Amino acid sequence: MTKNCNFIEKLREVGLRPTKQRIKICEVLYNREKTFHFTINDLVKMISEKMNEKISLATVYNTVHAFEKKGYLKEISIDSHKSYFDTNTSAHHHFFDEDTHELIDCDESDIDKINIRKNITGKKINSVEVLVRVASDNQTQK
């Protein structure tokens, strides 16, 4: 279990003031075994349920985007209608369960390295990510 003072240092390192709201959000996001995926709505719920404090919605948005900019969080595009964030900021692939709308990380070994043959002049590749959409085996597929 990471201590709060670690979060304070971590925030200081990237030039974010260790305010109590940011520390609270760090606790909710990083004080756990595994990385996970969430929406802003999820996060607001988690804060209000797990913590007694209430944080303004604007602050949650601001903080999440500050964290994203500093590389503490990654935004994942799967569904144009919802923003998902990921506390796993490394480059990795995903499964998306279309029944439950759950995102699942792929292990390194699940998918071979992707080889891109095309090269766009004047442009460099920033990322290569695979999205595997899965759904229940029996039901009618979309």
Residues at the contact surface with DNA, assessed by CB under 7 A: 8, 12, 16-22, 39-41, 54-59, 61-63, 65, 80-83
85 binds Zn ion (CB under 5 A): no
Smallest distance, a second copy to C-beta of residue 70, A? 12
- 47 CB-contact burial (10 Å; exposed 0-12 / middle 13-18 / buried 19+): buried
Count of Cβ atoms closer than 10 Å to residue 38 Cβ: 20
58 binds a second copy (CB under 8 A): no
Question: Which of 70, 69, 106, 110 is closest to 91 using CA atoms?
Answer: 106
Smallest distance, a second copy to C-beta of residue 4, A? 30
What amino acid occupies position 127? Answer: S
Check if the beta carbon of residue 75 is closer than 8 Å to that of residue 85: yes
Check if the beta carbon of residue 95 is closer than 8 Å to that of residue 64: no
Residue placing its CB nearer to DNA in the complex, 6 or 56? 56
Site residues (CB under 8 A) for a second copy?
Answer: 75-84, 95, 97-99, 104, 106-107, 109-112, 114-118, 120, 122-137, 141-142
Site residues (CB under 5 A) for Zn ion?
Answer: 86, 88, 105
